Chain A
Amino acid sequence: MFIVNLRSRRIFSFAVIGAIFVLMLGCTPSHNQSTFDPLGPVAANQLFIFNVIFWVAAVIFVAVEAALIYMFVKFRRQPGDGDPIQVHGNPKMEIAWTIIPALILVIAAVPTIDGIFFAANPPPNPAGGPALEVDAIGRQWFFEFQYADPNDASKKIVIANELHMPVAEPVVFRLDSRDVIHSFWVPKLGGKVDMIPNNDNSLWLQADEVGEFYGQCAEFCGVSHANMRFKVIVESRTDFDAWLQEQAAPAAETVDPLALAGKDQFRSANCIFCHSTGRGSGIGPNLSHVASRLNLVGLLPNAEEGSFVVNDAMLQENLKRWLTDPDEIKPGNIMSREADAYNKPEFALDESDVDALVAYLMTLK
């Protein structure tokens, strides 16, 4: 109706192409936490609903903005104009633009509510048996994960910062927190659910491809909220079972003299008060297999980009950096604030203490 001549048609087309170009710039599925790269059914369902609403909204957006631009041009007052007709309203039109949006919203609501129930109810495990359950516990400022021990269901395996999942199976996460509210979010696998102390929140996710996925806390939880990140490693069922057995095994014993000195340091500097090297969940993350993790403290990569094998040189450097000045890496972290080694001069670590500790921690594969 308002594309009345070639010039305004050209302007309009240019504007539409420009808008599409700008919008396409916003879709970057290759980025680590992009919601446009759904690699599991929950994320895919949520993206589908987004697309339904987005394209309807885009049409409305174009219509409204184009109408405003048209009015900007067409109804400009000219010198000598008198008063326009004093129209007070048009009930038919008003009813129309009440009912039509309401109908559009009904169309949006149906798949939305369907999606809510889909995300709330984990599907049956295609491999048969119950779905794998993992306890995900938010702590200031790291994620702790607990798995049932494959050899003794009454016991737990406690790890931190790195979650493993078997591919193409639904996994149920039981969410909890030891302090404030956190939120568990792996954008490429699905939307987030909050981790609230003493609350029985849970969510299910399924990853349909093997690989490494990025997760991040998504509820403001204090000083280092920005640094509360984790990785999800998705692998075949066989590889996952093997990994779980490794985690279930006790921490490696070492005979290296520097590492043994480090083990003594671990006790005498009181690290053992907070960090278990067994099955415990203490104030700090469990360290029994810390040297097998692909990142340290959820932030520092221990492996090359795209690799699933720990690079010992990178791990060593990260451990040294962390132990020398943890507050520089994760400001406000509880170890810097409260651990004897960082607060009482008689427990302070000099460089040789740090090197010994690093050597010990590197044996905890």
Chain B
Amino acid sequence: MSTVPFAIPRPTYPTGVWSWITTIDHKKIGVLYGVTAFVLFIIGGLEALLMRIQLTSSNQDIVSPEVFNQLFTMHGTTMIFLAVMPLSAAFFNFVIPLQIGARDVAFPRLNAFSYWTFLGGAILLNSSWFLGGATNAGWFGYAPLTSIEQNPGHGIDFWIISLQVLGVASLAAAFNFVVTIINMRAPGMSFMRLPLFTWMTFITAILLVLAFPVITVALIELYMDRTFGMNFFNVAAGGDPVLWQHLFWVFGHPEVYILILPAMGIVSEIIPTFSKKPLFGYGTVVLAGAIIAFMGWMVWSHHMFTVGLGPIPTSVFVITTMAIAVPTGIKVFNWMATIWGGSVDFKAPMLFAVGFIALFTIGGLSGVMHAAASSDAQQQDTYFIVAHIHYVLFGGAIVAIIGGIYYWFPKITGRMYNEMMAKVNFWVMFIGMNMAFFPMHFLGLDGMPRRIYTYDSNMGWDFWNGVSTVGVLVLGTSFLIFIINIVTSWRSGETAEADPWDGRTLEWSIASPPPEYNFEVIPTVYDRDAWWAEKRGKVQHGVPVGGGSDEEEHSIHMPQPSYWPLIVSIGLIISAYGLVFHSGNFIVASVGLLIGVIGVYAWAFEPVNEPE
């Protein structure tokens, strides 16, 4: 053994709760992410339901304005950072190593750390409800409303520190996936043979690495203003609240592409599989994704069209924002061309994928309407925007994610979900979604602003608000159906075969669920859609790019579990609470930091268990 301080043997729990707590297996971590994020999605949904009940008709006082303002702030923050992003991470985790022919990610312990830190951040943010009140200044937290004078409680601090913690989790995961995809592809899997979901994950991970530092800086500046009397956004001392907006939206716009690109990747897997045709224009779709990610950095001030930047900057951002519709449209047309001429099996995953196209198109078209800054001056900060964001984020990202859950369910659990229930799930969700959000287009153009807890009876807004609330109830029902389907099928669904969909990519070439080591022999890849090429015998046996695998010479080498990622996360969360309450001159924060530093040191030097 070594003489490294804090060295402890690696945990060896083959089953049970401890096996989950100490796991570094990407498949288990994917399930942890998925279940946790789904629970948080339901919490965010309940926050929305409360708001919708309050807004069903005019002048209601079911929910006070103080609580309502916390609800919409937490709903937005939860859905973006605690639901959609980690649900995407669940897929990155489970699917990427399988699609590229690897046994795990590049940094398995870092992967576990990402999950525990995400869970810690979620608990931290939601504990604010019980510790003095949740954050209440909107998920975008505009200065000066977030200043210590306007908001003396700890709610805003909970928001700031939770986002920093979640940022650490996201960055760790992003680095992990960038390195994994670059370094751990099976022999022969060149970049242009990657499954499209892997490509979109790669692009998303790069966006995460570049975008998160911007909000990190913005949040540090806000924390400094609130805690140490600095004046970044304090007008009285020469600061500028518009600086916050620029920093936030330089992060915020790439963030929405972070939210949608994985969903587009999922849809790009489902459609070819169920159409029995390759993705139409693979190269174009990859390029369009990369262009969207690149151009996403040039459009941020379309969130600021009413801030008074001046006609020239406003016009520039109109042009860049309209331009980004072009690669987005290309993807939609390419997906449709994939279905065209195919032999299409409309099983549940395919219904969700087609539903994605139908709904995302509506959101995309209203997005083009917002791009026109002049007419946007009437739409900005109204329910027309709320309609747009929910069509792209719910009708887009969530619908694709639910489709992805059904698609990969057999692979993850080894069981088939109930197909009839899943189809009913889709139709109830589709109807509910449109009932809930389409009327918001009308309300917005009828002059109803966002973020209002009530409205007067003479405005004419009662009817469509009522319809929208009924739609949300229908949506809620669809999620009950989903939960029942997933839970009962996981327990007692029909056993799934390895390849229930006649799939195209490598994850379908191994058992359902996969063994711990994924592939008995790392495959050699000769073509795009590697598994389909092998099955249909159209493999061109040329020299695989990158040489062959030498693994047959050794036994399968798997990473070993560890306690330290969880311990470092715990240190980070203790530190986080210390920063939120910053009492006692930051003693608690320092203790947490110390635990974290010790944990990282031990992690870096910990030995592996000797083989038996």
Residues of A within 8 A of B (CB): 22, 25-28, 30-36, 43, 45-47, 49-50, 53-54, 57, 60-61, 64-65, 67-68, 71-72, 75-78, 81-91, 93-94, 97-98, 101-102, 105, 108-109, 112-113, 115-120, 175, 179-181, 183, 185, 187, 190-194, 196-202, 214, 216-226, 299, 305, 331-332
Contact call A46/B281, Cβ cutoff below 8 A:
no
Query: Residue B213 at the A interface, CB < 8 A?
Result: no
A49 and B343 in contact, given A68-B336, A87-B277, A88-B282 (Cβ under 8 angstroms): no
Contact call B306/A50, Cβ cutoff below 8 A:
no
Instruction: Please encode chain B, from 420 to 458, with 1 for each CB lying within 8 Å of some chain A CB and 0 for all others.
Output: 000000000000000000110110011111111111101
A226 and B455 in contact, given A32-B447, A180-B145, A197-B144 (Cβ under 8 angstroms): yes
For the complex with contacts A64-B336, A199-B308, 4 further pairs of A-B residues with Cβ separation under 8 Å are A34-B446, A75-B343, A196-B241, A219-B381
| Interface class of chain B by DSSP | helix
Q: Smallest distance from the beta carbon of A37 to chain B beta carbons, Å?
A: 10
Contact of A105 among B322, B377, B380, B455 (CB under 8 A): B322
List of A residues within 8 angstroms of B346 by Cβ: 72, 76
Query: Residue B580 at the A interface, CB < 8 A?
Result: no
Chain A residue with Cβ nearest B460: A31
Contact call A226/B454, Cβ cutoff below 8 A:
yes
Chain B residue with Cβ nearest A97: B333
Q: Can you show 12 pairs from A to B with CB atoms below 8 A apart?
A: A43-B378, A53-B372, A60-B361, A83-B276, A89-B282, A94-B333, A97-B329, A109-B319, A191-B376, A192-B306, A216-B449, A218-B449
Contact call A119/B374, Cβ cutoff below 8 A:
yes
- Docked Cα-Cα span, A201 to B310, in Å, equals 9
3 smallest CB-CB distances across A and B, nearest first, come from: A191-B377, A33-B447, A115-B374
List of B residues within 8 angstroms of A27 by Cβ: 442, 445
Contact call A194/B308, Cβ cutoff below 8 A:
yes
- Docked Cα-Cα span, A192 to B373, in Å, equals 11
Contact call B341/A87, Cβ cutoff below 8 A:
yes
List of B residues within 8 angstroms of A305 by Cβ: 458
Q: Smallest distance from the beta carbon of A237 to chain B beta carbons, Å?
A: 27
Q: Smallest distance from the beta carbon of B466 to chain A beta carbons, Å?
A: 13
A45 and B308 in contact, given A61-B362, A105-B323 (Cβ under 8 angstroms): no
List of B residues within 8 angstroms of A61 by Cβ: 361-362, 365
Q: Smallest distance from the beta carbon of A298 to chain B beta carbons, Å?
A: 11
Chain A residue with Cβ nearest B73: A220
Chain B residue with Cβ nearest A35: B378
A32 and B460 in contact, given A75-B339, A187-B447 (Cβ under 8 angstroms): yes
Q: Scan residues 356-381 of chain B and give those whose CB is less than 8 A from a CB of chain A.
A: 357-358, 361-362, 365-366, 368-369, 371-378, 380-381
- Docked Cα-Cα span, A109 to B334, in Å, equals 25
Contact of A49 among B283, B361, B375 (CB under 8 A): B375
- Docked Cα-Cα span, A113 to B446, in Å, equals 24
Contact of A102 among B64, B326, B376, B447 (CB under 8 A): B326
A89 and B365 in contact, given A181-B145, A194-B306 (Cβ under 8 angstroms): no
- Docked Cα-Cα span, A105 to B372, in Å, equals 10
Contact call A196/B308, Cβ cutoff below 8 A:
yes
Contact call A116/B459, Cβ cutoff below 8 A:
no
A26 and B442 in contact, given A105-B323, A105-B325, A187-B447 (Cβ under 8 angstroms): yes
Contact call B336/A71, Cβ cutoff below 8 A:
yes
Contact call B66/A94, Cβ cutoff below 8 A:
no
Query: Residue B242 at the A interface, CB < 8 A?
Result: yes
Contact call B242/A35, Cβ cutoff below 8 A:
no
Contact call A192/B380, Cβ cutoff below 8 A:
yes
Chain B residue with Cβ nearest A199: B308
Contact call A116/B449, Cβ cutoff below 8 A:
no
Query: Residue B382 at the A interface, CB < 8 A?
Result: yes
List of B residues within 8 angstroms of A81 by Cβ: 343
List of B residues within 8 angstroms of A85 by Cβ: 277, 341
Contact call A34/B445, Cβ cutoff below 8 A:
yes
Q: Smallest distance from the beta carbon of A95 to chain B beta carbons, Å?
A: 10
Chain B residue with Cβ nearest A328: B61
Contact call B283/A187, Cβ cutoff below 8 A:
no
List of A residues within 8 angstroms of B556 by Cβ: none
Q: Smallest distance from the beta carbon of A94 to chain B beta carbons, Å?
A: 5
